[in-house]
Amino acid sequence: MSHWRRLGGAGIALALVVVIGTAGYMILGFSFLDAIYQTVTTVSTVGFREVEPFTPAGQIFTIVLILVGVGAALYAFSVIVETIIEGRLNELLGRRRMEQSIASMKGHVIICGWGRVGRSIAAEVEAAGRDLVVVELDETRTEGIPHPIVLGDATEDSVLRSAGIERAAALVAAVDGDAANSFIALSARAMKADLFIVARARSQDSVEKLRRAGSDRVVNPQSIGGSRMAAFVLRPHVAEFLDVVMHERTLEFRLEEVPITEGSSISGRSLRETDMRDKTGALVLALRDADGSFHTNPNPDTELRAGQVIIAIGTQDELDALVRFVGR
**Alpha-carbon distances, residue 300 vs 200, 208, 296 (angstroms):** 38, 37, 12
For residues 118 and 172, membership in a common domain is answered with yes
Give average pLDDT by consecutive 10-residue segment, the chain, 328 residues: 67 86 89 87 74 81 83 79 65 72 92 91 89 91 85 93 94 93 94 94 90 93 85 86 70 82 89 89 90 88 91 88 88
For residue 1, the model assigns a pLDDT of 45
Residue 241 forms part of a structural domain: no
Task: Note whether 80 and 116 are same-domain residues.
Answer: no
232 in a structural domain: no
C-alpha to C-alpha distance for 290 and 189, rounded to whole angstroms = 19
Same domain flag for 119 and 91: no
What is the span of the domain harbouring residue 289?
A: 252-326
| Cα–Cα dist 236/291, whole Å | 32
- The CATH number linked to 314 is 3.30.70.1450
The reply to whether 239 falls in a domain is no
CA dihedral 259, 265, 267, 273 (to 10 degrees): -110
In a domain? residue 70: yes
Examine residue 90 and state whether it is found in any structural domain, yes or no: yes
Beta bridge partners of 110: 133, 171
Q: Are 94 and 113 contained in the same domain? A: no
Tally the domains of the chain: 3
Q: How many CB atoms lie within 10 A of CB 161?
A: 12
* 87 and 153 inside one domain: no
240 in a structural domain? no
SS3 23: helix
